[in-house]
Chain A
């Protein structure tokens, strides 16, 4: 029972353009959402997060948007760079959950020159 879904397994974008990654969830008890980036043969690394009390969080080239009514969040990368080529995982957790994260299946992003 996947509570976090990333329906696009891959995304190709030109360098300098915007990358938009989408994530949907089914559990209305989730109150904290995170994006992780993963390179081959490495563990996921934390990228950016957002609490359910906010609808936007920005950190440099990365912005996460949260639409609680639609149970949808997205990650925008502007401008995209070749080093952004990686797998991006969306994750979510409930408060009082001791940090138990539910992950999506990931979206492979390829940034082309």
Chain B
């Protein structure tokens, strides 16, 4: 039973294309995240949604647009792909609450999507 799943696992595409990565969680969590792991292996948060509402939006080019059709899904759309977008993208979920007990911050990660832009 996969808790957090992402599709596709690998994505190879040309510069300038538009692509999407899908994420689904079956944990009943209210909060979902997108992280980018760059070539230096740093995991950096990009976005977070709580109950379909955007709550964290880091400094990310506006070519990246998250979409949450329901609280179990958070998809990532990337327009006009650039070489520097090549990375592994991880989706995660948690019961994180603002001002809530920090233990809710434990996040469950998907397997990652390796995006290669040629």
Residues of A within 8 A of B (CB): 2, 31-32, 34, 36, 41-46, 49, 51, 87, 89, 93, 95-103, 105-106
Contact = CB atoms under 8 A, between A and B. Distances in A.
B90 A43 contact: yes
Given A89-B43, A98-B50, 9 more contacts: A2-B42, A32-B105, A43-B110, A44-B90, A98-B56, A99-B94, A99-B105, A100-B56, A105-B41
Contact of A99 (B31, B41, B42, B112): B31
B107 A105 contact: no
B102 A98 contact: no
Interface residues of B, number: 31
A51 B108 CA distance: 18
Contacts, number: 71
A41 B111 contact: yes
Interface of B: 4, 31, 33, 40-45, 48, 50, 55-56, 90, 92, 94, 96-99, 102-112
A43 B112 contact: yes
B111 A93 contact: no
A96 B97 CA distance: 7
B98 A96 contact: yes
A106 B41 contact: yes
Contacts of B90: 43-44
5 contacts: A42-B112, A93-B102, A96-B99, A99-B104, A99-B107
A49 B105 CA distance: 10
A44 B83 CA distance: 25
B106 A98 contact: no
A103 B44 contact: yes
A105 B38 CA distance: 10
A41 B42 contact: no
B87 to A, nearest CB: 14
B48 A49 contact: no
Nearest 8 interchain pairs by C-beta = A99-B96, A43-B109, A32-B102, A103-B43, A99-B105, A96-B99, A44-B109, A98-B55
